[in-house]
């Protein structure tokens, strides 16, 4: 009788549990989690850029008291975002050479993408306006490097003067 019950249980379990379905579900969940984390990372980058504050600190190691504005702000937001908190905990417990979306390279790539989006938006606005002016200024900084500033001035569709 025990063998018959074991066979019935095994057949029932095998028909209801498919490893391929579990693997696909797990992969889809990881993708969804990564998208949530990426949204927060992008929001932090946009906030820091709008506030014109630095991203990085002098020492961004796990033991540092001040890891820089980017990582510190992410840690603050992680208190209210369990998926981000879980990711930060994993990163703290693992070795390097993993995709974390928090590295300098990832920050720079995301900032470049955001800058391209802003440039594209400004270009469309200027093209709609039809008329614009350009202000260019240069100066040499303390390191004897030429610093270049470009300002585009135009009137938007609401007749407001914009300087970008």
pLDDT tens digit string along 20-68?
778 888 899 999 999 999 999 999 999 999 998 988 877 666 667 787 8
| pLDDT, mean of residues 5-18 | 69
CA–CA separation, 63 vs 69, rounded Å?
Answer: 15
CB contact burial 50-70 (16+ within 10 A = b; e otherwise): eeeeebebeebeeeeeebbbb
Report the chain's terminal Cα–Cα distance, integer Å. Answer: 81
Residue with the larger pLDDT of the pair 138 and 91: 138
pLDDT digits (tens, 9 = 90+) for 111-142: 999 999 999 999 999 999 989 999 999 999 88
Q: How confident is the model at residue 96 (pLDDT cuts 50, 70, 90)?
A: low
Cβ contact 74:41 at 8 Å: yes
Per-residue pLDDT at 21: 77
CA distance 15 to 7: 12
pLDDT for residue 44: 96
Spatial contact of 135 and 151, defined as CB atoms under 8 Å apart: yes
Q: What's the mean pLDDT when you consider all of the chain? A: 86
Count other C-beta atoms under 10 Å from residue 104's C-beta.
11
């Amino acid at each position: 009788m025990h063998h018959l019950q074991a066979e019935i249980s095994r057949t029932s379990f095998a028909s209801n549990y498919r490893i391929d379905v579990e693997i696909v579900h797990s992969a889809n969940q990881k993708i969804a989690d990564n998208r949530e984390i990426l949204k927060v990372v992008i929001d932090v980058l946009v906030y820091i850029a709008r506030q014109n504050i630095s991203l990085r600190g002098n020492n961004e190691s796990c033991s540092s008291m001040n890891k820089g504005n980017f990582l510190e702000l992410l840690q603050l937001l992680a208190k209210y975002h369990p998926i981000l908190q879980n990711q930060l905990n994993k990163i703290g417990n693992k070795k390097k050479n993993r995709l974390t979306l928090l590295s300098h390279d990832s920050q720079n790539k995301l900032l470049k993408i955001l800058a391209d989006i802003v440039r594209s938006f400004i270009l469309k606005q200027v093209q709609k306006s039809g008329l614009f002016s350009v202000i260019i200024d240069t100066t040499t900084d303390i390191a004897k490097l030429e610093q270049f500033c470009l300002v585009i001035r135009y009137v938007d569709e609401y007749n407001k003067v914009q300087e970008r």
